[in-house]
């Protein structure tokens, strides 16, 4: 899978653009002010850089070394620093209970490991840490606007509740939105969104 993402991110153009995801932009003030925020599956860094520009201490990880190169370039262009690591989460030496929040933006992991990985990530977040989440819903297969084509990698609200069982949800919704994120997220799409706090 990292070969797929390395190939996509090796191109000069940013696959999903350089601007932040709209839901994150709308929700940024929900994150603890000047907090330390983690961005899993961060790709080319647009969301992490946006958070750093807004005064947050930012860490990110992805399997793609090409994604890190683009993220580091974008951070440099915006005169901010991000701690971006490449590899599997268990090998990256993040400290438990060290983050004030985590932002999942289209972090679609294989179903077989997804719940365990979500729980691993949440262990890195302090109690009362904030979680911001947007990913494609099961209904996204009806739309040509991007995302995994494998039904099991998409989300339902019920799966979110099960996989984030130690989170209190401020809200949790499935919504139809208009995507305009680079060349790969364009047009109407169906997403699951939530903001919550770790118990």
Model confidence at 196, in pLDDT bands (50, 70, 90)? very high
Interatomic CA distance for residues 74 and 104, integer angstroms: 19
pTM for the model stands at 0.97
Checking if the pLDDT of 1 tops 90, the result is: no
Q: Which tens digit of pLDDT belongs to each residue from 73-116?
A: 999 999 999 999 999 999 999 999 999 999 999 999 999 999 99
Q: Are 89 and 60 in contact (CB under 8 A)?
A: no
Model confidence at 2, in pLDDT bands (50, 70, 90)? confident
Domain boundary assignment for the chain: 2-198
Q: Which residues pair with 125 in a beta bridge?
A: 99
Q: Which tens digit of pLDDT belongs to each residue from 147-158?
A: 999 999 999 999
Q: Where are the extended beta strands (E) located within 44-166? A: 57-62, 83-86, 99-105, 125-136
Checking if the pLDDT of 189 tops 80, the result is: yes
Checking if the pLDDT of 42 tops 90, the result is: yes
Query: Which CATH code fits 2-198?
Result: 3.40.50.150
Q: Are 179 and 146 in contact (CB under 8 A)?
A: yes
Model confidence at 40, in pLDDT bands (50, 70, 90)? very high
């Amino acid at each position: 899978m990292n070969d797929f993402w390395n190939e996509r991110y090796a191109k000069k153009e940013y696959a999903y653009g350089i601007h932040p995801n709209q839901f994150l932009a709308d929700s940024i003030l929900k994150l603890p002010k000047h907090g330390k925020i983690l961005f899993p599956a961060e790709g080319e860094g647009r969301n992490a850089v946006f958070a750093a520009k807004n005064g947050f201490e930012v860490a990110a990880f992805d399997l793609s070394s090409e994604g890190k190169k683009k993220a580091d370039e974008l951070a440099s262009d915006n005169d901010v620093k991000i701690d971006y690591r490449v590899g599997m989460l268990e090998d990256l030496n993040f400290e438990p209970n060290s983050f004030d929040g985590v932002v999942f933006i289209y972090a679609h992991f294989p179903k077989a490991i997804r719940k365990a990985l979500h729980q691993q990530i949440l262990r890195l977040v302090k109690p009362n840490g904030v979680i911001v989440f947007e990913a494609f819903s099961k209904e996204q297969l009806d739309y040509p606007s991007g995302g995994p084509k494998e039904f099991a990698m998409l989300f339902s609200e019920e799966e979110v509740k099960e996989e984030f069982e130690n989170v209190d949800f401020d809200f949790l919704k499935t919504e139809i939105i208009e995507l305009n994120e680079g060349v790969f997220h364009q047009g109407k799409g169906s997403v699951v969104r939530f903001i919550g706090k770790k118990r």
